[in-house]
Amino acid sequence: MQEEVSQKSRQLAALYERYRSRRAEAGDLAASFQAEREDLLADTRSLSQAIKLKALVIDSYIPQHYQDLITSLCEWREYEETWAIAHVNVAGALFQSAHWPVVLGVVLGVCCVCTACPPYGCMRA
């Protein structure tokens, strides 16, 4: 009988030790999940702030009817996970950066964008 009580006490001590280690492991996991949750929340807040800034800039500088037009030309490309705009190669900043000197020259009536050119004649030529 005494031997049986001793054996049960050892088993109980072993089980209690396993219980304590599992409980500590669960606490560590909970702390890890909480830290990850806080990181995700910080990322969400940062992204939300960036989106609100971009929306403010867009709403402040682009009229609503142009926003609607651009939105109607957008399509989501699932395989690339990006938005695409139809005919973007001839619109906006891409077009202006490549062709702006020519467009400006036509508007000003000069052959280039230097200030020395009189209308329809370049002093550099």
For residue range 22-63, list pLDDT tens digits in order. 999 999 999 999 999 999 999 999 999 999 999 999 999 988
Contact, 123 vs 114, CB < 8 A?
yes
Residue 97 falls within a domain, yes or no?
A: no
Residue 40 falls within a domain, yes or no?
A: yes
Cα Rg of the chain, angstroms: 34
The helix or strand, by DSSP H or E, that contains position 15, with its residue range, turns out to be helix 2-61
The helix or strand, by DSSP H or E, that contains position 81, with its residue range, turns out to be none
Residue 113 falls within a domain, yes or no?
A: no
State the chain's mean pLDDT as an integer: 80
Residue 43 falls within a domain, yes or no?
A: yes
DSSP string, 48-61: HHHHHHHHHHHHHH
Confidence of residue 1 (pLDDT cuts 50, 70, 90): confident
Residue 70 falls within a domain, yes or no?
A: no
How many domains does the chain divide into?
1
Q: Is the pLDDT assigned to residue 121 strictly greater than 90?
A: no
- Domain containing 22: what range? 2-61
Collapse the DSSP code of 116 into the 3-class scheme (helix H, G, I; strand E, B; otherwise coil) and give the result. coil
d(CA 40, CA 34): 10
d(CA 96, CA 111): 17
Judged by phi (left if over 0) then psi (alpha if -120 to 50, else beta), residue 5 lies in alpha
The helix or strand, by DSSP H or E, that contains position 65, with its residue range, turns out to be helix 64-73
Confidence of residue 105 (pLDDT cuts 50, 70, 90): very low
Residue 21 falls within a domain, yes or no?
A: yes
Residue 118 falls within a domain, yes or no?
A: no
Residue 20 falls within a domain, yes or no?
A: yes
